Amino acid sequence: MQTNPNPDPTPGPSPAPDAPGLRSRYDVVVIGGAAAGLSAALTLSRARRSVLVVDAGQPRNTPADGVHNYLGREGTPPGELLAIGRAEVSGYGGEITAGAVTAVGRAETEGFEITLADGRRTGARQVLLAAGARDELPDVPGLAERFGRDVLHCPYCHGWEVRDLPIGVLASSPMAMHQVLLLRQWSADVTLFLNDVLEPTETEWEQLTARGIAVVDGAVAAVESADDRLTGVRLASGAFVPRSALAVQTRVFAPVGPLEGLGLSAEEFRMGEALFGTYLPTDAKGETSVPGIWAAGNVADVSTQVITAAAAGMRAGAQINAALVTQDTAAAVESARLAPA
In the chain, where are the structural domains located? 2-133+254-338, 138-248
**Domain over 138-248 is classified CATH 3.40.1350.10:** no
Domains 2-133+254-338 and 138-248 share a fold: yes
**Distance, CA of 74 to CA of 102 (rounded, Å):** 34
Residue 18: per-residue pLDDT: 44
Residue 62: per-residue pLDDT: 76
Residue 216: per-residue pLDDT: 98
**Distance, CA of 31 to CA of 196 (rounded, Å):** 40
Contact by Cβ (8 Å): 288, 128:
no
Residue 275: per-residue pLDDT: 83
Residue 65: per-residue pLDDT: 81
**Distance, CA of 88 to CA of 151 (rounded, Å):** 33
Predicted confidence pLDDT, tens digits, the chain (341 residues): 554 444 343 334 444 444 447 999 999 999 999 999 999 999 999 999 999 999 998 887 777 888 998 999 998 998 999 999 999 999 999 999 999 999 999 998 889 999 999 999 999 999 999 997 888 999 999 999 999 889 998 899 899 999 999 999 999 988 899 999 999 999 999 999 999 999 999 999 999 999 999 999 999 999 999 999 999 999 999 999 999 999 999 999 999 999 999 999 999 998 777 788 999 999 999 999 999 999 999 999 988 899 999 999 999 999 999 999 999 999 999 999 998 87
Residue 15: per-residue pLDDT: 46
Residue 288: per-residue pLDDT: 98
The SS3 of residue 160 is: helix
**Distance, CA of 252 to CA of 260 (rounded, Å):** 19
**Distance, CA of 160 to CA of 75 (rounded, Å):** 11
Contact by Cβ (8 Å): 169, 193:
yes
Handedness of CA 265, 313, 182, 63 (dihedral sign): negative
The CATH T-level fold of domain 2-133+254-338 is FAD/NAD(P)-binding domain (3.50.50)
**Distance, CA of 312 to CA of 104 (rounded, Å):** 22
**Distance, CA of 320 to CA of 191 (rounded, Å):** 47
Residue 61: per-residue pLDDT: 79
